[in-house]
Structure 1
Amino acid sequence: MIHKIYLFMLLLSINIAVNAQEKDSLSYKFSLKSAIDFAFTHQTAILNATVDEEIARNTVKQTVGIGLPQVSTSFNFQDFLKLPTTLLPGEFASPPSSTPIPVTFGTKYSSTLGIQLNQLLFDGSYIVGLQASKTYKELSVRNSKRTRIETAVAVTKAYYSALVSKEQLGLIDANLAQLTKSLNDTEAMFKNGFSEKIDVDRLQVLKNNLETDRENVLRMFAVNVDLLKFQMGMPIQASLALTDKISNVRSEPVVLQVSDTTAYKGRIEYNLLETQKKLNELDLKRQKSMFLPTLSGFASASKSFQSDELQKHFEQSFPTSVIGLTLSWNIINGGQRIYQVRNAKLTVLKSANDMLNLKNGIALEISTSQKAYLSSLRSVENQQRNLGLSNEILRVSRIKYEQGVGSSLEVTIAETSLKEAQNNYIKALYDLLINKVDLDKAAGRINY
């Protein structure tokens, strides 16, 4: 029994140590850059994009293989349970007869062993297909880049959202500490007969509301951190701490574009349309190549074995070999190729139109993002001034109330105004950070 207890305690301690180690291994402290780097190696969308790149490379090699020598082998074995019968004209008989004569040809066992080589010599569509396969690979690489950019944007916005919640929590904690001090001072003054019960009640209501707000912000902060983990491809149960400060993020310079910018060239969406247009042009070239003939060469060698006895079947063989060329040219197909070429030309035209529309749309996006960013920047500056003024008003109101020249109602109103100023500042700060990300994305400055 003692040994069993000892063994149980040992296993329990090992289990606790393993769980503690696993918990420690799921604890992270990330800056924004580290969070993006983590997402690039763990986010499912990026992992799948990497797989798509590998599929594209294999597809290119598969297309190249069509023009390489094709070798195949075959073996055929037949056991005639009953040999076929052929009727010959009676005139061949001796003496001649008007009745056909049944004759059986062949051997009971027959087999053929062969090898064949085929080589494509000329095919216009294959040549174009080789070019298209390389462009297809380029398209997959650019799609992968777009996935990385979208992931970086999503991680950045989620990181900023968590930072804003953390900043809001800091403001609430500072306000709550001041409010708690005021409540304690007011309660002391009430006990000494220098204030009324309603003054204490007003501050208590404000403190209760602020504590409720703090709990809500804590939950929102946890939700934002979980969202960040999801965007990074990190397990939700992992522990994540943010190391960047919102003041450092705000101090980062933002470059504003001029009206005649060519930033659209740096946008991955435009690059993707360029590649798609190139593919459509190659498809047009392929449709035109269908008017040309195809030429292929072949060579084959075989041996046939025939016998009436299975044991002697492979004693005697009859070899056969042949080489040749095959020219195939579909001259008339009801005009189908003509309309296929026309449709391919129209598809290229649509691609050009899409590129022009996207170029104009990117210019609009940059202009809109710049205006939104500048507006949010001014809003943050104004709300920051309002926050400073609200703090000053509250400070003066408290001093006046403590010196007996002000009312508790003034303090209550000042506390409420400060809370509203904090909320307005946080909202403006969130808008500023999100608009900053949107502007960088619109200008094509987010590249990975």
Structure 2
Amino acid sequence: MKKSINLLAICFALSGAFRASGQQAPQAFSLQQSISYALQNRPNLKANQNEEKIAKARVGEIRAMGLPQIDIAADVSNNFIQQKTLLDPSGFAGPELDPFVITPEQLNGQQPIVLTPAYSDRELPENTPLQVITFTQPYTGSIGINGSQLLFDGSYLIGLKAAKTYTELSRKTTAQTEIDIAEQVSKAYYSVLVSGARMALLDQNLVRLDTLLYQTKVMFENGVAEKLDVDRLQVSLNNLKVEKQKAERLAALSESLLKFQMGLPQRQPILLTDKLAEVQVDIATINTNDFNYNSRIEYSILETQRDLADLDMRNKRSGYLPKLYLTARYGYNGVGSSLSDVLNVRAGANNNIDRNWFDFGFVGVQLQVPVFDGLRKHYQIQQARLAVENAKYGFETIRQSIDLELVQATTELTNALDVLDSQQENLALAQEIARVTKIKFQEGVGANLEVVTAETELRQAQTNYYAAMYDALIAKVNLDKATGKLLTK
């Protein structure tokens, strides 16, 4: 309890320091303006709005998967250990050109020399060993451009729909946060209004009791009243001053809470333009018979979650469908005995002497047909089907929950209005009793103790009335939220 008192004292002191040091003019807010300001400045709502933008970007990311994919790759490698293989020389055995001789007479003659080659079979020695050879140069390089285009993928089309649905879910989540903020701001706003009205009544009580104390002192000096009468009124006045100080601290704390709910800096003074007397709290204006569950954002969110679960099941089923891609590549491969040699690009179709870079290219269609995955997709589909069933079961649960909220909120508001009417009548009676006892005391036909008792009962009636007023306002906010009418755009 001591810690709570200290916390209130600190909050009040800080609030007073802010008012003393700040030179800013108060900023006026109605309830709707307070809600609008909060919807633009609350950090958690901005975070939800960013999540909504992320979801929209996710749609673009998935859509990009169906567009052509193009990339360029280049590399240079040092084959410091060249890959080798074994070659069987017997595979290259074949006819051998027989030797021939050109005589001097043929060279000196005038007739053309005609050579008729003759071949004979060559036989390799038996048990000719395999030869170790390599086809790899010390340095190799490559550069190429790769392209692919998705032609058909069932999961891609469903994924695109799921991404759009997820965007819708993110938007509805943001709307739910906005409704929660509107509820928090409304309750904090009404709390400040009630605290302000109660403070005004306490000021009136102080003036009235201080005047009565002054009159009683005059009566005491004239011998009409007793010293005990003055002391009783002084005790009541002191208690009322302490009660006002406590109410001021609580009012400052309520104002700080409202600023927090609005996302407003604590140093910024505010002025509430709505009047407590203008707030309409009437159960007759609310009809829950024509209530539609779709007006509740929670129900709408569940519908979107059901759609997502259904799309997820369809996506799992599409895993049995084939995938078709169009692929293409064009580039160059280069070789060299050294790094500088491979970097010295010598290419071109007309270069038949020292060419070291050679181009290549291909285009094709790739078909992927799933055959057997160990029943993995079967169990995934089973899980997705159960998730869809759970989403459908959730509708019955949320309908029952909403029905209970409607009954509870309606009952709370009805009871709060009954209590408010009773406390309003008690307040009027307490005011009349205090007025009459004061007159009787001043005319000498009443006791001072009756005046003190009447003032105490009046303050209690005032406290009860504004507590009932606050409860009625909070019950009204709860019923507006239960019917989905708290925040409409």
Structure 1 length normalisation: TM-score?
0.91
Which residue does 1:137 correspond to in 2?
Answer: 167
Q: 1:138: Cα distance to partner?
A: 0.4
Look up the equivalent residue of 1:221 and give its one-letter code: A
**Any conservation in 1 of the 2:149–2:326 contact (CA below 8 Å)?**
yes
Which residue does 1:265 correspond to in 2?
Answer: 294
Which residue does 2:430 correspond to in 1?
Answer: 390
1:290 paired with 2:330, answer no
Look up the equivalent residue of 1:427 and give its one-letter code: A
Look up the equivalent residue of 2:345 and give its one-letter code: F
Cα gap change, 1:87 to 1:331, in 2 (>3 Å) = closer
Which residue does 1:77 correspond to in 2?
Answer: 76
Cα gap change, 1:308 to 1:375, in 2 (>3 Å) = same
State which of 355, 376, 399 in structure 2 corresponds to 1:359: 399
Which residue does 1:8 correspond to in 2?
Answer: none
Alignment of 1:392-407 (within 5 A): 392-407=432-447
**Any conservation in 2 of the 1:73–1:115 contact (CA below 8 Å)?**
yes
Q: 1:251: Cα distance to partner?
A: 6.1
Look up the equivalent residue of 1:314 and give its one-letter code: V
Paired with 2:181 and 2:412, the residues of 1 have a C-alpha distance of: 22
Which residue does 1:14 correspond to in 2?
Answer: none
1:308 paired with 2:337, answer yes
Which residue does 1:116 correspond to in 2?
Answer: 146
**Any conservation in 2 of the 1:257–1:366 contact (CA below 8 Å)?**
no
**Any conservation in 2 of the 1:112–1:302 contact (CA below 8 Å)?**
yes
Look up the equivalent residue of 2:438 and give its one-letter code: R
Alignment of 1:213-224 (within 5 A): 213-224=243-254
Paired with 1:282 and 1:374, the residues of 2 have a C-alpha distance of: 44
Q: 1:84: Cα distance to partner?
A: 4.1
Alignment of 1:200-211 (within 5 A): 200-211=230-241
Which residue does 1:324 correspond to in 2?
Answer: 364
Alignment of 1:147-158 (within 5 A): 147-158=177-188
Paired with 1:72 and 1:42, the residues of 2 have a C-alpha distance of: 43
The structure with the largest alpha-carbon Rg is: 2
> What are the superposed Cα offsets for residues 276-328 of structure 1, whole Å, 9 maximum, x if unpaired?
11111111111111121111110111111223363573112311111112211
Which residue does 1:54 correspond to in 2?
Answer: 53
**Any conservation in 1 of the 2:326–2:366 contact (CA below 8 Å)?**
yes
Paired with 1:151 and 1:276, the residues of 2 have a C-alpha distance of: 23
Q: 1:263: Cα distance to partner?
A: 3.1
Look up the equivalent residue of 1:159 and give its one-letter code: Y
SS of the residue aligned with 2:285? coil
Which residue does 1:431 correspond to in 2?
Answer: 471
> What are the superposed Cα offsets for residues 160-181 of structure 1, whole Å, 9 maximum, x if unpaired?
0111111111111111111111
Paired with 1:175 and 1:283, the residues of 2 have a C-alpha distance of: 67
Paired with 2:89 and 2:386, the residues of 1 have a C-alpha distance of: 69
Paired with 2:441 and 2:162, the residues of 1 have a C-alpha distance of: 80
State which of 268, 278, 296 in structure 2 corresponds to 1:238: 268
Question: Which deviates more, 101-110 or 386-395?
Answer: 101-110
**Any conservation in 2 of the 1:74–1:113 contact (CA below 8 Å)?**
yes
5+ residue gaps, structure 2:
1-17, 94-122, 348-356
Paired with 1:200 and 1:246, the residues of 2 have a C-alpha distance of: 36
Alignment: residue pair count:
428
Alignment of 1:334-345 (within 5 A): 334-345=374-385
Cα gap change, 1:355 to 1:82, in 2 (>3 Å) = closer
Look up the equivalent residue of 1:407 and give its one-letter code: A
Paired with 2:395 and 2:187, the residues of 1 have a C-alpha distance of: 28
What RMSD, in angstroms, separates the aligned Cα atoms of the two structures? 2.1
Cα gap change, 1:156 to 1:58, in 2 (>3 Å) = same
Cα gap change, 1:254 to 1:61, in 2 (>3 Å) = farther
Paired with 1:343 and 1:100, the residues of 2 have a C-alpha distance of: 59
Paired with 2:378 and 2:84, the residues of 1 have a C-alpha distance of: 52
Q: 1:23: Cα distance to partner?
A: 4.2
**Any conservation in 2 of the 1:264–1:363 contact (CA below 8 Å)?**
no
Question: Which deviates more, 59-68 or 262-271?
Answer: 262-271
Q: Which has the higher helix share?
A: 1
Look up the equivalent residue of 2:300 and give its one-letter code: N
Paired with 2:471 and 2:281, the residues of 1 have a C-alpha distance of: 15
Which residue does 1:16 correspond to in 2?
Answer: none
Cα gap change, 1:327 to 1:256, in 2 (>3 Å) = same
SS of the residue aligned with 1:78? strand
Which residue does 2:390 correspond to in 1?
Answer: 350
Cα gap change, 1:442 to 1:83, in 2 (>3 Å) = closer
Which residue does 2:109 correspond to in 1?
Answer: none
Look up the equivalent residue of 2:205 and give its one-letter code: N
Q: 1:95: Cα distance to partner?
A: 4.9
1:188 paired with 2:246, answer no
Paired with 1:273 and 1:241, the residues of 2 have a C-alpha distance of: 40
Q: Percent identity?
A: 37
1:248 paired with 2:278, answer yes
Paired with 1:337 and 1:95, the residues of 2 have a C-alpha distance of: 60
Which residue does 2:98 correspond to in 1?
Answer: none
Paired with 1:142 and 1:367, the residues of 2 have a C-alpha distance of: 25
**Any conservation in 1 of the 2:24–2:269 contact (CA below 8 Å)?**
no
Paired with 1:295 and 1:311, the residues of 2 have a C-alpha distance of: 41
